[in-house]
Structure 1
Amino acid sequence: MNIRNARPEDLMNMQHCNLLCLPENYQMKYYFYHGLSWPQLSYIAEDENGKIVGYVLAKMEEDPDDVPHGHITSLAVKRSHRRLGLAQKLMDQASRAMIENFNAKYVSLHVRKSNRAALHLYSNTLNFQISEVEPKYYADGEDAYAMKRDLTQMAEEGATVYSCLAGCLTIAWRLRPCPFVPASAEAAPGAKGQEQARRAGCHREQGGGQRCL
């Protein structure tokens, strides 16, 4: 299985997956609206043959009176590929993209009150909290839970990983093998020899040794 960023050519297959899996369906222009406005935020899951078996369609909410936050418009995984952790991976990828690209503080979604499987995923696995009940939210009159997930911890974990990687790269650079300095450069008197050694990235220490800078 492979999780990757959705591309424009994926949108029709995402819509097909939506039609197979969910009662909430959208016209193709709505998929293009997401893909063109927030190309970083939607992801697909594909099998070993490159066939799309799941997707998450996501966007940023444009509310000037609130902190930056994203919204999950739609999430679906084909029945044949459920219970493999794909929904969680898709949601986490979209959430990280919201943090990295838009500094999102939380992500929201709506879910049917009767959808117990989705509620279990959102509440128990992804740490969403119910913020309110929206009566008759769906076209058939069913109520929806409005849910939110605080992204602070995910953002802090990402910053920690980045800091660790930066530190490891710095250490690796300092411990890199000292490049070869020709004997002529070592023996060359005055500023010329020192300049050649400096360009090679080495510093002569007392006792005749060399240390990489």
Structure 2
Amino acid sequence: MVSIRRASIDDLFAMQAANLLCLPENYQMKYYFYHILSWPQLSYVAEAANGKIVGYVLAKMEDDAPPEDAHGHITSLAVLRSHRKLGLATKLMQQSRGSFIPTSISNRAAEKSMLETYDALYVSLHVRVGNRVALKLYKDTLGFSIHETEEKYYADNEDAYAMRKYLKERTTSEEPDSTKGVKKNNTRRK
């Protein structure tokens, strides 16, 4: 059995190990600390019955966004190959995403905290254009949509889809541009 719980500082080395095993985009330990210390209610781990961390989602608020565009960002999501096809990525994303939004049917402390503290309009993430499995998860299962394509986003120059999932209704001034633009040679923001 695998359970989903909020990540703690004690989980960071296991999260980094999962990242190194699963993804080509890797981060220094200080980046994990930055997330956990700055936004402790946003990152979650999937923990097997034996205590092993088998997946994680690392999330943050975009701290350079103006208040009217407050939004969260999924920095990294990984599930060990041995634990894929169990719905863990979906559960991790839903748990983290739930922390960004208010809900009338749940009074979980994390959701209440996110509403009172951040009032996020949407959650964003980047995915490699060639990662069809992740793209299907984000679009078809989790309801994200492609906002734009960012050319040469990754270190190996692969393009990324910048994706968003809106968490509350937007006003007319917040509607996205219908011409989905392409940012060229974008500086990587995570």
Provide TM-score, normalisation by structure 1.
0.70
Q: Give, in angstroms, the shift of residue 67 of structure 1.
A: 2.3
User: Which residue among 41, 48, 69 is the counterpart of 1:67?
Assistant: 69
Q: Give the alignment of 1:94-173 within 5 angstroms.
A: 94-99=96-101, 100=111, 101=114, 102-152=118-168
CA distance in structure 1 between the aligned counterparts of 2:126 and 2:148, rounded to whole angstroms: 10
Aligned equivalents of 2:164, 2:68: Cα separation in 1: 14
- After TM superposition, give the deviation of residue 152 of structure 1 in Å: 2.5
Amino acid at match of 1:143: D
- Render the CA deviation track for 1:188-211: whole Å, top value 9, x for unaligned: xxxxxxxxxxxxxxxxxxxxxxxx
Q: Match for 1:128: what amino acid?
A: F
Deviates more, 1:134-143 or 1:89-98: 89-98
Return the structure number with greater relative CO, CA threshold 8 A, min gap 6. 2
4+ residue runs of structure 1 moved beyond 4 angstroms? Answer: none
Q: Show the counterpart of 2:87.
A: 85
Query: Which sections of structure 2, spanning at least 5 residues, go unmatched?
Result: 102-110, 170-190
> Aligned equivalents of 1:67 and 1:4: distance in 2?
28
The Cα offsets for residues 16-55 of structure 1, whole Å up to 9 and x where unpaired, read as 0000000000000000000100000000001111110000
Q: Give 1:91's aligned amino acid.
A: M
Offset of residue 66 of structure 1: 4.0
Query: Aligned partners of 2:61, 2:140: CA distance in 1, in Å?
Result: 24
SS of the aligned residue for 1:19 comes to helix
Deviations 1:92-116 (A, max 9, x none): 1111112221221210000000000
Partner Cα distance (1:74, 1:54) in 2 = 10
CA RMSD of aligned residues (A): 1.1
Aligned amino acid, residue 121 of structure 1: L
Count residues in correspondence. Answer: 153
Larger radius of gyration: 1
TM-score normalised by L of structure 2: 0.78
* Aligned amino acid, residue 137 of structure 1: Y
Shift in Å at residue 87 of structure 1? 0.4
More helix by share: 1
| Deviation of the 1:65 alpha carbon | 5.7
Matched, 1:15 2:31: no
Cα distance in 2 between the residues matched to 1:67 and 1:135: 23
Partners of 1:87 and 1:18 in 2: how far apart?
13
Unaligned ranges ≥5, structure 1: 154-213
Q: Percent identical across equivalent pairs?
A: 67
